[in-house]
Amino acid sequence: MIVPICYNRLDCLRATGQILAGGCLCLDLNEGAITTTMPKLKTHKGAAKRLKTTGTGKILRMKGLRGHLRRNRAPRAKEMYGKMLQVSPADEKRLKRLIPYGSS
């Protein structure tokens, strides 16, 4: 039987006998051990829709300024709007926090 030590979260009050979710500290009375579970990381949905992750972990983005006024641009410039670019290394750490499990 697992007994939650912190009673202030509804996630801790499950009576299923499983290890409790939500990053809480729980006491297992069967084994006499204290177990902790890591909290789930939430994905930023806006970033997940705009960014893609490759198989090697690189983050790709689309170019900006592609919404309108494209008929005035050269065909080669218009071609470049269809390709995805790798995110700048300066932004990569910050963006990986927004999509911790990647985005396909």
Task: Give residue 3's pLDDT.
Answer: 56
* CB-based contact 51:58 (threshold 8 Å): no
Look at residue 50 and give its three-state secondary structure.
helix
The CATH classification of domain 45-98, taken from the options 2.30.40.10, 3.90.110.10, 4.10.410.60, 3.30.70.120: 4.10.410.60
- The answer to pTM > 0.85 is no
The pLDDT tens digits for 26-78 are 555 666 666 678 888 999 999 999 999 999 999 999 998 888 888 899 999 88
Q: Which band of pLDDT confidence, cut at 50, 70 and 90, is reported for residue 95?
A: very high
User: Which is higher by pLDDT, 81 or 16?
Assistant: 81
The yes-or-no verdict on residue 2 having pLDDT over 60 is: no
Q: Range(s) for CATH 4.10.410.60 in the chain?
A: 45-98
